[in-house]
Amino acid sequence: MINKFSFENVFSFKESQELSMIASSKKERLFDDSQNYVDKSKDIKTLSTAVLYGANASGKSNLVKVLHQFRNLIFFGNQNLDSREFAIPNFQLDAEKAKLPVQFEVECFWNEKSYRYGFSLLNSGIEEEWLYVKEKRESEVFYRKNQNFTIPAKNKILNELTSKKMVHSKAFLVTIGAQFNDASCAGFLDWINHFNIISGIQDHAYKEYTVRRMKESREFSQKVVELIKFADFGIEDIAVNSIPGKNIKFNVGENSPIEVESGIIDDLMSKRFVINGDGEPELKEFHFGLFESDGTQKFAHIAGPILDVLEKGSVLVIDELDTKLHPELTERLVLMFHNKEINKNHAQLIFTSHNTNLLDAKIFRRDQIFFVEKDSFGASHLYSLADFKKDGKSTRNDENIELNYLKGKYGALPFLGDFDNRLNR
């Protein structure tokens, strides 16, 4: 899971920003918030969910892109090193800042160990890179400044890699170390491998994964059904209908006809009770894509990634979670991560939303609600409701958060100006 993620000079974020999932010391009074965090050590409590609000083009989706960029650089940054530069999306609205490195750092917990990993880089190569691991106390795995490495003697694999000059100036040592079985590097890469980022708008992209998992495991398939029932769609069961496709014949020039065998086409079928001719209820199958609403289809499509995260206790980031979903259904998804009977493995959900119904002091702690707002120079700023102050006063633990947000108390609202008159010009 994530404890903290900080970043600077990337996309629309000019200055250093931090997304902290560590619960503050503030107390909530309107509900029992013990379900809203998971204990992983004696000294900190880590939040299970976080929601981000802001106007269109404020930087909400850019924050998701920042997380995606961080993940992808580690995974794919070591490819074609000599023939390319890094495509770094620096903050471009300040000429001096655009010349400086982007920087990322994450503090995470995985398999009973805490990791702190970060790097800064320019298009030309890696400026700095560091990894620390903590079991009882934090210890350095490596620190790098360009091609100068500081590595404790006990980390023999990393020392050998650097002494033999096997680390390119554009290559991440953490990735190479994992490939050569350094335990600390491999442990962190395993966490990255379980760090999931999906789009709440392009939900059809995840249908194939959900269907495949359902075909592979009856147990997983049953969990999808239970999840659908939990959402109360009136669906009694879901089945995967596999239909062989037809072979295709075509000619290429004057050659003999070529026949291509098509694969299996998998689709979802829902089962609902209907009243038959005798007035008795019976189960009937319906084609999911034809008879179910867009919201129900989206819920089923993203069920696979959600269940995968809940099973493994990993992290799921969703941009625009509430698109196509009724506000109560979005709330049910969030509350799954707040339910320790369902979220047994301490999974986390981080998502962006425009659904202000979720701004409820009975659902979220104040430190779980974040806002993203752009200043007059086009730079995005991230802040939590727990840290927000108005006239020197903090947010009360019993105020109407939704109403105050819509009134503009916390900022992060669109500025429409004289909208109607502009359209009539």
Q: Based on the fold, state whether residues 224 and 171 are members of the same structural domain.
A: no
Mean pLDDT computed over 253-271: 69
Confidence tier at 419 by pLDDT (50, 70, 90): very low
pTM of the model: 0.89
- Cβ–Cβ < 8 Å for 300, 203: no
Q: Looking at the predicted structure, is the pLDDT value of residue 304 above 60?
A: yes
Q: Based on the fold, state whether residues 36 and 173 are members of the same structural domain.
A: yes
Q: Based on the fold, state whether residues 162 and 68 are members of the same structural domain.
A: yes
Q: Based on the fold, state whether residues 239 and 103 are members of the same structural domain.
A: no
- Cβ–Cβ < 8 Å for 13, 91: yes
The residue that leads in pLDDT, 425 or 27, is 27
Q: Looking at the predicted structure, is the pLDDT value of residue 309 above 60?
A: yes
Distances from the Cα of 250 to the Cαs of 21, 216, 256, 262, 265, in angstroms?
57, 34, 9, 13, 21
Q: Looking at the predicted structure, is the pLDDT value of residue 399 above 60?
A: yes
Q: How far apart are CA 378 and CA 252, in angstroms?
A: 55
Give the DSSP H or E segment for 286: strand 281-287
From 145, 16, 59, select the one nearest 412 (Cα to Cα).
Answer: 59
Q: Based on the fold, state whether residues 369 and 261 are members of the same structural domain.
A: no
When the pLDDT of each residue in the chain is averaged and rounded to a whole number, the result is 88
Confidence tier at 416 by pLDDT (50, 70, 90): very low
Is residue 329 in a domain? no
Residue 44's Cβ-count burial label (10 Å; 0-12, 13-18, 19+) is: middle
Confidence tier at 124 by pLDDT (50, 70, 90): confident
Is residue 222 in a domain? yes
Q: Based on the fold, state whether residues 352 and 289 are members of the same structural domain.
A: no
HSE-CB of 360 using CA atoms within 13 angstroms:
12
Is residue 123 in a domain? yes
What is the structure's pLDDT at 338? 93
Lookup: tokens for 348: 């986390």
Instruction: Classify 354 as helix, strand or coil.
Output: coil
Q: How far apart are CA 9 and CA 99, in angstroms?
A: 10
Q: Based on the fold, state whether residues 156 and 179 are members of the same structural domain.
A: yes
Residue range 131-168, pLDDT digits in tens: 999 988 999 999 999 999 999 999 999 999 999 999 99
Q: How far apart are CA 408 and CA 134, in angstroms?
A: 42
Q: How far apart are CA 25 and CA 416, in angstroms?
A: 37
Mean pLDDT computed over 324-344: 89
Residue range 35-63, pLDDT digits in tens: 888 765 556 789 999 999 998 889 999 99
Is residue 337 in a domain? no
- Domain end call among 242, 275, 301: 301
Q: Based on the fold, state whether residues 153 and 236 are members of the same structural domain.
A: no
What is the structure's pLDDT at 422? 45
From 332, 214, 232, select the one nearest 272 (Cα to Cα).
Answer: 232
What is the structure's pLDDT at 291? 87
Is residue 311 in a domain? no
Is residue 20 in a domain? yes
Q: What percent of the chain is predicted at pLDDT more than 90?
A: 55
Q: Looking at the predicted structure, is the pLDDT value of residue 318 above 90?
A: yes
Residue range 174-196, pLDDT digits in tens: 999 999 999 999 999 999 999 99
Lookup: tokens for 143: 């620190």
Q: Looking at the predicted structure, is the pLDDT value of residue 418 above 80?
A: no
Distances from the Cα of 128 to the Cαs of 72, 86, 333, in angstroms?
17, 14, 39
What is the structure's pLDDT at 383? 96
Q: Based on the fold, state whether residues 160 and 212 are members of the same structural domain.
A: no
Give the DSSP H or E segment for 311: helix 303-312
Q: Based on the fold, state whether residues 281 and 393 are members of the same structural domain.
A: no
Mean pLDDT computed over 328-348: 90
Instruction: Classify 272 as helix, strand or coil.
Output: strand
Q: Which residue, chain included where needed, has tokens 């924050």?
A: 63
Q: How far apart are CA 416 and CA 154, in angstroms?
A: 60
Instruction: Classify 420 as helix, strand or coil.
Output: helix
Q: In terms of residue numbers, what domain contains 287?
A: 205-301
Q: Based on the fold, state whether residues 12 and 116 are members of the same structural domain.
A: yes
Question: Could you tell me which residues are beta bridge partners of residue 390?
Answer: 393
Q: Based on the fold, state whether residues 169 and 211 are members of the same structural domain.
A: no
The residue that leads in pLDDT, 339 or 32, is 339
- Cβ–Cβ < 8 Å for 78, 202: no
Is residue 122 in a domain? yes
389-390/393-394 β-pairing = antiparallel
What is the structure's pLDDT at 380? 96
Mean pLDDT computed over 201-221: 91
From 3, 62, 23, select the one nearest 364 (Cα to Cα).
Answer: 23
User: How many structural domains are present in the chain?
Assistant: 2
Q: Which residue, chain included where needed, has tokens 């995967």?
A: 240
Q: Looking at the predicted structure, is the pLDDT value of residue 249 above 90?
A: no
HSE-CB of 163 using CA atoms within 13 angstroms:
9
What is the structure's pLDDT at 288? 87
Confidence tier at 326 by pLDDT (50, 70, 90): confident
Mean pLDDT computed over 239-252: 69
Q: Looking at the predicted structure, is the pLDDT value of residue 412 above 90?
A: no
What is the structure's pLDDT at 423? 45
Is residue 413 in a domain? no
Confidence tier at 248 by pLDDT (50, 70, 90): low
What is the structure's pLDDT at 226? 87
Q: Looking at the predicted structure, is the pLDDT value of residue 246 above 80?
A: no
